[in-house]
Amino acid sequence: MEAVGGWCTDCGKPIRAGAVLYTAEARPVCPMCFTRADVSVRRRAVFEGWSTALIGAIANAIPLVIDAMGAWMVAPAVASAGRRDWVALVSGVVAAFCGGATVLEARSRISGRWLVIGALVALLGVYHAVRGAGLAW
C-alpha cells in the first residue's frame, strides 16, 4: 500500500506521497501534469521570443533588400554615402527595439540562445539606424 500524499489540482487523481510536485503558483500536481505544464510554459516562452526576434529580423532585412534593389536599378553614385536613408533608419530602430525586447525576454527566462539572437538583431538594427541617419559609412 502506498500512502496518498495528496490530490492533483489539475487532473484530480491521488498522488503518491513523495511524488507530489508543486507548480509556480504552489499548487500540488502529479508528475504527469507537472511535466505537461512545464512543457507548455517552455513552448510559450520560445514562441514569444521567436515572434519578437522575427519582427526584428524582418525589419533588419528590409533595408538590405532595398539596398540590393537600389544597387540594381540606381547607379552606385546616386546612392551616395551620407544621404539620409529613412527606410534604413526606421527599420533599424524597429529592429533594435525588437532585439532589445528579445534580450529582456531571454534574460527573464534565462535562455542563452535567445539572448544571443536578440543581441544580434539589436546590433544589426543599430547599424542600420546609424547608417540610415548618415552618421557612418
CB of 40 to Zn ion, least distance (A): 13
Identity of the amino acid at 101: A
**34 contributes a contact to Zn ion by CB under 5 A:** no
User: What span, in angstroms and rounded, lies between the C-alpha atoms of 104 and 9?
Assistant: 32
For residue 28 the three cell numbers come to: 500540488
Q: In the complex with Zn ion, which residue's Cβ is closer, 33 or 95?
A: 33
φ/ψ (deg, to 5) at 56? -60, -40
Alpha helices in 74-111 (DSSP H): 86-109
Q: In the complex with Zn ion, which residue's Cβ is closer, 33 or 117?
A: 33
Q: In the complex with Zn ion, which residue's Cβ is closer, 7 or 97?
A: 7
Report the candidate in 97, 109, 104 with the shortest Cα–Cα distance to residue 43: 109
CB of 24 to Zn ion, least distance (A): 15
User: What span, in angstroms and rounded, lies between the C-alpha atoms of 8 and 22?
Assistant: 10
Stretch near Zn ion under the rule CB under 5 A, chosen from 3-11, 55-63, 88-96, 121-129: 3-11
**8 contributes a contact to Zn ion by CB under 5 A:** yes
Q: In the complex with Zn ion, which residue's Cβ is closer, 21 or 46?
A: 21
**11 contributes a contact to Zn ion by CB under 5 A:** yes
Stretch near Zn ion under the rule CB under 5 A, chosen from 24-32, 63-71, 89-97, 113-121: 24-32
User: What span, in angstroms and rounded, lies between the C-alpha atoms of 124 and 23?
Assistant: 39
Residues that bind Zn ion (CB under 5 A): 8, 10-11, 30, 33
